[in-house]
Amino acid sequence: MNRKANGRLFLMVAALYFSQGIPLGVAMEALPTLLCRDGADLHALAWLPLVGLPWVLKFLWAPAVDNRWHPAMGRRRSWIVPMQAMVLACLSGVALLGISTAHAAWVVALMAVASLASATQDIATDGLAAERFEGQALARANAAQVGGTMMGFFFGGPGCLIMTGYIGQTGAAAALAAAVAFSLFLAATWRETDAAMAPARPRATLSGFIRRPGAWALAAAAFLSAMTAVAGYGLSRLFLVDAGWQVEDVGRIGMAGGVITVLLGCGGGAWLIGRLGARVALALGLAASAVAALGWMAQALDWAPRQVGLAYASQALGSFGAGAASVALMTLAMRFARRGVQAGTDMTAVQSARDLGEILTSSLMTGLAAYAGYAGGFAAGLAVAVVTLAFTAKALA
């Protein structure tokens, strides 16, 4: 593949990873904040993170994505193009309906469909990246996977909130749809080569992952580290709204957190891994998340003044911790997968465990805050961080 074609392929893959993070950002950050502003009950909002359930369960239909395609479209395009079109249709529907308590059921349903399409697309995009890139190009593709999906998440969450303050909810949803339309255009105008049509490898099995020594410990570490990252991070948005912050201001602090997650968390985490090793980098990320939860709890209990500076400091620590821990854990997972014979299935199993931790914790923390207050939710986040630090230090040693 020549440099120009390789560059266009990388741009397409990066755009796909970016766009597939948008529906989760809308469902897990923008919708709860906007509906909370309109007076929705916390008990109802606690169910919104379940929109991300397809990301937890995608390992169930991954073999179908690998083994079934239309020859005229290509092995990966057969899934990427229709899934992207489905996401675009869902976001366009949200733009037409608007985000309000009156249309909440329809909007949540559209985001659930978009999440299912994005999760399915992720299987095909991961397969495409693994097949087409090697060496340093594969490393860049992996960076695009982590950073691009996170950036898409923050664009769909805090970015949507910021745009809502300036151009309204309809304009914000249209801007999200335009980003998806761009990646759809790139995928629709790209053509796969005959090399991509080679028969699939022998079918991998989930039982093969389960039987491998160390698999359960790695999956549990992924689950717990995701719980640590989300416990204080997601709940802080609702805390700030109830503290009187404007949604655009909540969006700004969230976007700042996104930049820190991608640049300092992911980039700094990769640097720490090279210097100190993945396990040390994981511990540092988890410790930063624990301190962030403590900072939010101090504000909720009025132990510390509710100042903008302290909110941003807590956000920064939590964002760095989430990014660094994620990169370190996925590095450990990649090493584990490469030592086996079914790297794709092994990675998907670990990713699903991580996604389950994120979604379950987002829902539980919001419900806990409804009963025990924000201080109780942040205290639970601090406890989870301590437990995760102890577990990973022993189980991954």
Shared domain for 334 and 229, answered yes or no, is yes
Gyration radius of the chain over CA positions? 20
Shared domain for 278 and 357, answered yes or no, is yes
- Structure-derived torsion over alpha carbons of residues 19, 264, 311, 370, reported in degrees to the nearest 10: 50
Shared domain for 256 and 322, answered yes or no, is yes
pLDDT at site 130 = 67
Alpha-carbon span 170 to 34, nearest angstrom: 13
Give the per-residue SS3 of 367-395.
HHHHHHHHHHHHHHHHHHHHHHHHHHHHH
Tokens 């570490």 correspond to 221
Domain boundary among 153, 168, 203: 203
Shared domain for 110 and 3, answered yes or no, is yes
Shared domain for 195 and 296, answered yes or no, is no
Shared domain for 19 and 74, answered yes or no, is yes
Shared domain for 249 and 131, answered yes or no, is no
Domain boundary among 203, 231, 252: 203
CATH code of the domain covering residue 326: 1.20.1250.20
Shared domain for 216 and 113, answered yes or no, is no
Alpha-carbon span 237 to 331, nearest angstrom: 29
pLDDT at site 262 = 81
Give the residue numbers spanning the domain of 128.
Answer: 1-203
Q: DSSP for 206-268?
A: HHHHHTSTTHHHHHHHHHHHHHHHHHHHHHHHHHHHHTT--HHHHHHHHHHHHHHIIIIIIIH
| Mean per-residue pLDDT pooled into runs of 10, the chain (397 residues) | 69 91 86 72 66 83 79 85 94 82 78 91 79 62 73 86 84 90 92 58 72 89 87 76 80 82 81 82 91 87 74 88 83 72 71 81 75 82 89 84
pLDDT at site 342 = 65
Shared domain for 221 and 191, answered yes or no, is no
Q: What share of the chain is helix, strand, coil (3-state, %, to 5)?
A: 85, 0, 15
Shared domain for 324 and 185, answered yes or no, is no
Neighbours of 378 (CB within 10 A): 30
What is the tally of structural domains in the chain? 2
Domain boundary among 155, 180, 203: 203
Shared domain for 217 and 322, answered yes or no, is yes
Shared domain for 163 and 273, answered yes or no, is no
